[in-house]
Amino acid sequence: MRRALFLSSLLLSAACGSEGPGAGAGHEGSSAEGRTAAQGSPGDGANAGGGAPDGLVLRAEPAGSTDVAPVLEARGEGTIRVASVVRVERRDGERWTDAGVTELSLRADCERPAEGCVSLARGGSLRPPAWNGRIGRGQCGCPTCAVAPAGDYRFVVTTCEGGHEVASRAFHVGE
């Protein structure tokens, strides 16, 4: 019941344009565009790694009762190349740590493997298959993988040129 209530409020907030808790000051690129309904605290954001290309936005979007999709958008000038691997990090106090999710990548579907780098031209976006909310193989099904513990998570990608990290805002998983 609590999960259904949380997801309902998450979707309602997204539909109404709510910026959620922690939105605003302290976020690079903190306009309402590109935010998820469940926001993190200051320091989470589109360019949390510092020095990342302007206009590259990574968002987390609900994709079902437990799934969350990483959505990557290129809003700046030119073409941006991003490594296809998507890291999932879990908040541990004031730090972000690896959540133990593997095989989550920026790919078009579950039928084809990801390439090493993905190119996005200005205005381009990619919404790969969602993270399944599990530890271990995190994309395209894994019924035997353990469910991720409740907590705050974020997605992180790295540019192919320069190795800059771009992180989504925090989102909550579980009860």
User: pLDDT tens track of the chain, all 175 residues?
Assistant: 334 333 333 333 333 333 333 332 222 332 223 322 233 333 344 444 444 567 899 999 999 878 999 999 999 888 999 999 999 999 999 999 999 999 999 999 999 989 999 999 999 999 999 999 999 999 998 888 999 999 999 999 999 988 899 999 999 998 7
The secondary structure of 112-172 as a DSSP string is SPPPSEEEEETT-EE-PSPB-SBSEE-BS--TTSPBPPSEEEEEEEEBTTT--EEEPPPEE
Between CA 152 and CA 150 the distance in angstroms is 7
Question: 61: helix, coil or strand?
Answer: strand
Cβ atoms within 10 Å of 143's Cβ, excluding its own: 6
Give bridge partners of residue 92 from the DSSP assignment: 95
| pTM recorded for the entire structure | 0.72
